[in-house]
Amino acid sequence: MSLRYEPAEIEQKWRDRWADADLFKTLEEPGRPKFNGLPFFPYPSGAGLSVGHLRNYIPTDVICRAKRMQGHNVLHAMGWDAFGLPAEMEAINKKRNPRGMVKEYAETYKRQLSYVGVSYDWSREVNSSDPEFYKWTQWIFLLLFEKGLAYQGDYPANWCPKDKTVLANEEVEGGLCWRCGTPVEKKMLKQWFFKITDYAQRLIDDLEAVNWPEGIKTQQRNWIGRSDGSEFYWKIDGSDHSIKVFTTRIDTVYGSTFCVLSPEHPLVEQITTADKRAEVAAYKATASALSDQDRLATTREKTGVFIGAFAVHPFSGENTPVYVADYVLMGYGTGAIMAVPAHDTRDFEFAEKFGIQIRQVIEPADGSIEELPFVSEEGRLINSAEFSGLSCEDAQDQMTQWVEARGTGKGKVNYRLRDWLISRQRYWGAPIPIVHCDKCGVVPVPESQLPVLLPDVESYEPGHNGESPLADIADFVNTTCPSCGGDAKRETDTMGGFACSSWYFLRFCDPHNNEEAFARDKVGYWMPIDCYVGGAEHAVMHLLYARFWTKALHDMGILDFVEPFAVLKNQGMLLAPTPFRNPNENETLRVGEAGIMLSYEEAAQMPKDQVFWRWEKMSKSKGNVVTPEDAAMRYGADAIRIYELFEAPFEQTIQWTEERVQGAVRFLNRVFRLVGDHIPNYNADWRSSNGEITDDERDLRHKLHHTIAKVTDDIAEFSFNTAVASLMELTNEMSDFAKKNKGGSNALDEAIDTLILLLAPLAPHSADELWSKLGKAGFTLNEKWPQADPAMLVRNEVQIVVQVNGKLRGHILVPADMEKLELERAALDCEKVHSALEGKTIRKIIVVPGRIVNIVAN
């Protein structure tokens, strides 16, 4: 029977059968280990999915399918990160209601995902904008509020004037709004925060316990930004005020020749001398007019003003001038620094410009004269009174003790992490469940009144003066105080989208619970997640927030674990060829742009030499998107799966190359042909063989069991490209065997069954089709995963490599258990070894049994 891979005829058929059989329903059978595999839940955008997104969903599906066959209860669920700014902006642009829009987009995503046969248990689908879901987001908010982990405070918040909302620090990239790229302004606003800073140290420490890519861990550590240093006071000469400074380099204190206050520092007003007031006020005005983007530009020349005051050096007693300068930030440390121009680049630049003394107090260990500033901690102190001669490290300890003993300072750990700003002045989010009452103040909405429903409105565009559009809806705003029953007003800010994604993975464990957010035993069973898969762009935001919520819920006794994601994997991107042309003289390019993007149609019509191609991420705006349905139609779902798995290691960026997709089609065709051609000779009862086997059969079995072991390991380690490669090798070897051994063979029967099962997680439609062609009922997903037989892995004859002076000179085929001495003798018998040793004396022979003999001679 001649078979071919005919995706159009088999794939939809099998997807229908899987659905009819409810095949992907989550099993919770006792006695089985559990496996919770989850891709980051997506925001369903109107652009739909591209084959690029599948680089996440296909591998997660492969591992979940394999675990299921390996006897696990598998949780593999999907839902929609539907709340948040992206959805709302899209709704505004399209003049649609976000509720209906998001529902429709989610349906599209679901359909697109189904085209590649992904095995989700859709009965667990969740949507974060559904009241059933956000009721519990609000419930968690209230828990955090009760524990003092959610609070309202005045803060110079990051304000995006285009999106008309505040942003969390994590959402500001280089002073620009992460969504629209508008420079962010500082605006004094009353905002809601989560006290993530309470967890800074634990968020660092617990990274040790998770299996995540090292780069992501480092990014989190850097974001939290622990620095160990000292905090101590400098008294203002002739005043009762003192400046508190933080430094990590107290060892350089004798080199401090001035102090700097941030323009926002409250002491500036109080200690500026009368003659300097006008100048300082002018400087402060200029500084506050700068956007963050400008202020943080490292290339900018240092600016600042002497404020007329002097601070007394706590060690030497000298008077040092105090400046105000915008390179010191109010938001970090104490907003004031001791400046050490000799050993800090920024202080050095400032001192050079303002003609301030530069005093070297650290000398490199080897005493060589370095150019200043010398910022390394590898050195010894000089010009530092009794501390001279100490290493930097020792000096840091002793000097900190020195200030501690005098009660003017202490050792101090600072973190760069700030509290997580959660309130948004936008419509499309979970309302913050708080009521403001003139009498009772800030009152939480009682759990019985949850959810605080987001009202359906005609107009939901952002309000004015930094207020949410909800503030205009009287019916929503006016309420009664849950505490005293009097008139009160609802909080009108909503929560940013990251609130939803900080706990949705818990809801998947118990998605339709009407009584509580989740049953403890269900979360206890399924969590933590055994494999969390998504893009590295969430390295900081989502992953940090979700870890924080998990720890907070743990501390409240609601969860039994402190880390939600035991294993994290980042998939590589998929790039598509994208046409550009060079601009004419009267067209300008944005920074970083190499040309003007073209559509494929435009590119086809232009002369070839005017078009150049670059690899770009697939996106609707670039017009280079290949959708899952297009690709599945043209090549087949299994071919797409095999292609994306095989093209490169999972975490690596790949380039969409259609010839190589064709390669995947060819591979599947070879498998179909192999199986089809064998059907007339196939014996399903191959296990009851009589035990007599030929050498060829022994070789085939060896290869087969070796492949079982390899594919099993590779899938577990996300090394899908080598898993596919070894299945290709096996297929090739089986084809050769079939050609040589016409007629039936138990070894080939066994190999055929096993090949199909090993292929099943990777190419499930094809596997089920072939399985049924062999006359078998049911689905491969319900079959047992093949086991490598250790007896089949050992060989009684092995090939040994023979080297002379490390160079390959020959091979010998010997019994696997041959002794070292015999191996040496066998190696020396090789003809090529003879000629290579001509005129040389043997000095040494290295024998690694089972591998190599290396003869050292000269």
Select the span of 117-125, 292-300, 551-559, 780-788 touching RNA (CB under 7 A): 292-300
| Between 414 and 492, CB nearer to RNA | 414
Among 420, 548, 667, 771, binds RNA (CB under 7 A): 667
The DSSP code for 693 is -
CB of 807 to RNA, least distance (A): 6
Which of 599, 652, 694, 782 binds RNA (CB under 7 A)? It is 652
Strands 434-437 vs 423-424: parallel, antiparallel or unpaired: unpaired
CA distances from 531 to 28, 186, 349, 352, 763 (A): 18, 39, 48, 54, 20
CB of 381 to RNA, least distance (A): 16
Choice from 543, 568, 809, 830 touching RNA (CB under 7 A): 809
Tell which one of 17, 410, 666, 687 touches RNA (CB under 7 A).
Answer: 666
Which listed range, 14-22, 68-76, 595-603, 803-811, lies at the site for RNA (CB under 7 A)?
A: 803-811
User: Per rule CB under 7 A, is residue 72 in the interface with RNA?
Assistant: no
Least Cβ distance, residue 561 to RNA (angstroms): 26
Q: Residue 231 or 629: which CB sits closer to RNA?
A: 231
Out of 657, 683, 689, 741, name the contact with RNA by CB under 7 A: 657
Q: What is the 3-state secondary structure (H, E, C) of 63-123?
A: HHHHHHHCCCEEECCCEECCCCHHHHHHHHHCCCCHHHHHHHHHHHHHHHHHCCCCCCCHH
Of the pair 128, 262, the CB lying nearest RNA is at 262
DSSP string, 500-566: GGGTHHHHTTSTT-SSSSS-HHHHHHHPSBSEEEE-GGGTTHHHHHHHHHHHHHHHTTS-S-S-SBS
Residue 198 burial by Cβ neighbours in a 10 Å radius (0-12, 13-18, 19+):
middle
Max CA pair span of the chain: 108
Burial of 819 (0-12, 13-18, 19+ CB in 10 A): exposed
Scan residues 492-551 and list those touching RNA (CB under 7 A). Answer: 536, 539-540
Beta strands, E only, 606-692? 611-617, 654-655
Q: Which of 45, 219, 388, 398 binds RNA (CB under 7 A)?
A: 219
Characterize 419-432 residue by residue with b for buried, 16 or more Cβ atoms within 10 angstroms of its Cβ, and e for exposed.
Answer: bbbbbbbbbbbbbb
C-beta of residue 458 within 8 angstroms of C-beta of residue 472: no
Task: Give the nearer residue to RNA in terms of CB position, either 724 or 751.
Answer: 724
Name which position in 457, 473, 648, 792 contacts RNA (CB under 7 A): 648
According to the binding rule CB under 7 A, does residue 283 interact with RNA?
A: no
Q: Does 297 bind RNA (CB under 7 A)?
A: yes
When the beta carbons of 253 and 517 are compared against RNA, the nearer one is: 253
Residue of the chain from 631, 724, 781, 830 that contacts RNA (CB under 7 A): 724
Whole-angstrom distance, CA of residue 533 vs CA of residue 571: 7
Question: Which residue's CB is nearer to RNA, number 437 or number 654?
Answer: 654
Report d(CA 204, CA 196) in Å as an integer.
Answer: 12
> Distance between CA atoms of 646 and 660, rounded to whole angstroms?
10
Q: Which two tokens stand for residue 519?
A: 């049953």
Using the minimum distance from each CB to RNA, give the nearer residue, 390 or 857: 857
Please, which residue, 382 or 540, has the CB nearer to RNA? 540
50 binds RNA (CB under 7 A): no
Q: With respect to RNA, which residue has the nearer C-beta, 496 or 511?
A: 496
Least distance from RNA to the Cβ atom of residue 762, Å? 13
Contact between 644 and RNA by CB under 7 A: the answer reads: no
- Contact between 440 and RNA by CB under 7 A: the answer reads no
Q: Interface with RNA includes 670 (CB under 7 A)?
A: yes
Verify binding: residue 570, RNA, rule CB under 7 A: no
How many residues bind RNA (CB under 7 A)? The answer is: 85
- Residues paired with residue 160 on neighbouring β-strands, in sequence order: 165
| Residue matched to tokens 């002379």 | 804
Using CB under 7 A, which of 92, 204, 473, 856 touches RNA? Answer: 856
Q: Give 300 or 687: the residue with its C-beta nearer to RNA.
A: 300
Q: Closer to RNA by CB, 134 or 718: give it.
A: 718
Place of tokens 């290339």: 299
In the beta sheet, which residues pair with residue 410?
231
C-beta closer to RNA: residue 725 or 774:
725
Site for RNA (CB under 7 A): which residue of 248, 273, 479, 681? Answer: 248
Q: Is 801 exposed, middle or buried, given 0-12, 13-18 or 19+ CB atoms closer than 10 A?
A: middle
Q: Is 659 in the site for RNA (CB under 7 A)?
A: yes
Burial of 632 (0-12, 13-18, 19+ CB in 10 A): buried
Cα pseudo-dihedral 514, 516, 521, 523, rounded to 10: 90
Tally of CB atoms within 10 A around 647: 23
CB of 274 to RNA, least distance (A): 27
What is the footprint of RNA within residues 408-427 (CB under 7 A)? 414, 416
In this chain, which stretch among 91-99, 152-160, 275-283, 647-655 interacts with RNA, using CB under 7 A?
Answer: 647-655
Our finding on whether 654 is near RNA (CB under 7 A) is yes
Among 647, 750, 753, 768, the residue binding RNA under the rule CB under 7 A is 647
How near is the Cβ of 430 to RNA at its closest, in Å?
A: 26
CB of 564 to RNA, least distance (A): 21
Q: Using CB under 7 A, which of 153, 181, 225, 441 touches RNA?
A: 225
Q: Least distance (Å) from RNA to the CB of residue 544?
A: 12
Q: Which residues contact 304 (CB under 8 A, 6 or more apart)?
A: 260, 283, 323, 324, 325, 326, 327, 350, 354
Asked if residue 742 binds RNA (CB under 7 A), the reply is no
SS (H, E, C) 198-239: HHHHHHHHHHHHCECCHHHHHHHHHHHCCEEEEEEEEEECCC
**854 belongs to the binding site for RNA (CB under 7 A):** yes
Interaction between residue 706 and RNA (CB under 7 A): no
Residue from 186, 241, 276, 295 binding RNA (CB under 7 A): 295
What is the spatial distance between Cα 574 and Cα 467, in angstroms, rounded to a whole number?
40
Among 129, 502, 707, 803, which residue sits at the site for RNA (rule: CB under 7 A)?
A: 803
Check binding of 811 to RNA (CB under 7 A): yes
Of the candidates 137, 242, 262, 578, which one interacts with RNA according to CB under 7 A? 262
CB of 646 to RNA, least distance (A): 7
| Closest CA relative to residue 134, chosen from 493, 550, 432 | 432
Can you tell me which of 735, 774, 837, 849 binds RNA, judged by CB under 7 A? 735
Q: How far is the CB of 166 from RNA (least distance, A)?
A: 17
Query: What are the residues facing 185 on neighbouring strands?
Result: 159
Residues between 317 and 346 that touch RNA (CB under 7 A): 326-335, 337, 344, 346
Nearer to RNA, 344 or 563 (CB): 344
Within residues 815-844, the interface with RNA by CB under 7 A covers 832, 836, 844
- Report the residue number, 275 or 659, with the smaller CB distance to RNA: 659
How far from each other are the two terminal CA atoms of the chain, in whole angstroms? Answer: 62
Contact criterion met (CB below 8 Å) for 33 and 72: yes
Give, as ranges, the residues between 147 and 176 that touch RNA (CB under 7 A).
173-174
CB 407 within 8 A of CB 109: no
Is residue 214 part of the contact set for RNA (CB under 7 A)?
A: yes
Stretch 764-783 residues interacting with RNA (CB under 7 A): none
**Beta carbon of residue 298, minimum distance to RNA (angstroms, whole number):** 5
Residues sharing a CB contact under 8 Å with residue 459, sequence separation 6 or more, in sequence order: 469
